[in-house]
């Protein structure tokens, strides 16, 4: 598994992740290709000004995009999210990528406590939170794209991670 910053050429991977009803079932539903293209432009700018981390997860051979991990700050809170494309799921890639980004966050030191809000029914994402060292803070309702989802609220302070 390798990570790299998002690039303008990632449109195909963005569309496969965000326009897919299954991938987006617990993330507010599929988005339009136009909205996704605009999001990619904004994400590339965000990476250029280093205000958030938008990392692409590469396949083990480094040839293809397998997914994404994002870490960004909004309203004073740092939030992490992740997705892995269907053909790469179930191989530990998401867990490995999330732990790698948390390690980078620990070294960087700017993020403070990091929050994650996986859907309560997303067994794999809740397992990732647990095994990465997050603490379950409680259950909440989270708004995604105009819909309300039952989510778990997990928190981890990267400075608590071992080097
Ligand atoms: C959720 C998702 C990121 C998982 O990616 P993945 O690469 O298949 O996950 P991993 O192989 O790293 O598995 C992560 C953990 O979940 C566990 N797991 C995987 N599938 C599981 C399942 N169906 N039920 C229970 N646990 C499961 C793994 O054993 C692993 O546990 P561990 O960390 O304790 O070892 C991926 O399925 C996805 O992108 N789904 C659609 C988008 C989405 O839901 N994003 C997350 C929103 S919060």
Q: In what order do the strands lie in the sheet with 135-144?
A: 2-5, 53-58, 65-74, 77-84, 114-116, 147-156, 135-144
For ligand 1, atom 43, the nearest C-alpha belongs to: 83
The alpha carbon of 121 and the centre of ligand 1 are apart by a number of angstroms equal to 11
Report all structural domains of the chain as residue ranges with CATH numbers, in order of start: 2-160 (3.40.630.30)
In terms of DSSP H, where are the helices of 63-122?
93-108
**Kind of pairing, strands 135-144 and 53-58?**
unpaired
Looking at residues 75-101, what average pLDDT do you find? Answer: 97
Q: Show the tokens assigned to 22.
A: 């299954």
The reported pLDDT for the residue numbered 162 is 83
Work out the percent of the chain whose per-residue pLDDT is above 90. 90
Q: Decide: 118 in ligand 1 pocket, CB within 6 A.
A: yes
Q: Decide: 85 in ligand 1 pocket, CB within 6 A.
A: no
Whether the per-residue pLDDT at 145 is higher than 80: the answer is: no
Query: How many residues belong to the chain?
Result: 163
Tell whether pTM > 0.75.
yes
CB-side exposure of 55: number of CA atoms within 13 Å? 25
């Amino acid at each position: 598994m390798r990570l790299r910053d998002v690039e303008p050429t990632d449109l195909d991977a963005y569309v496969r992740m965000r326009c897919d009803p299954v991938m987006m079932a617990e993330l507010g539903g599929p988005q339009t290709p136009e909205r996704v293209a605009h999001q990619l432009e904004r994400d590339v700018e965000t990476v250029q000004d280093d205000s958030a981390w938008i990392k692409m997860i590469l396949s083990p051979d480094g040839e293809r995009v397998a997914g994404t991990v994002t870490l960004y700050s909004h309203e004073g809170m740092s939030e992490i999210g992740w997705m892995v494309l269907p053909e790469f799921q179930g191989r530990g890639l998401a867990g490995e990528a999330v732990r790698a980004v948390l390690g980078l966050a620990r070294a960087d030191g700017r993020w403070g406590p990091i929050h994650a809000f996986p859907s309560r029914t997303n067994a794999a994402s809740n397992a990732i939170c647990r095994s990465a060292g997050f603490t379950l803070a409680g259950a909440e309702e989270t708004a995604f794209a105009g819909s309300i989802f039952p989510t778990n609220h997990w928190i981890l302070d990267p400075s608590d991670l071992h080097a």
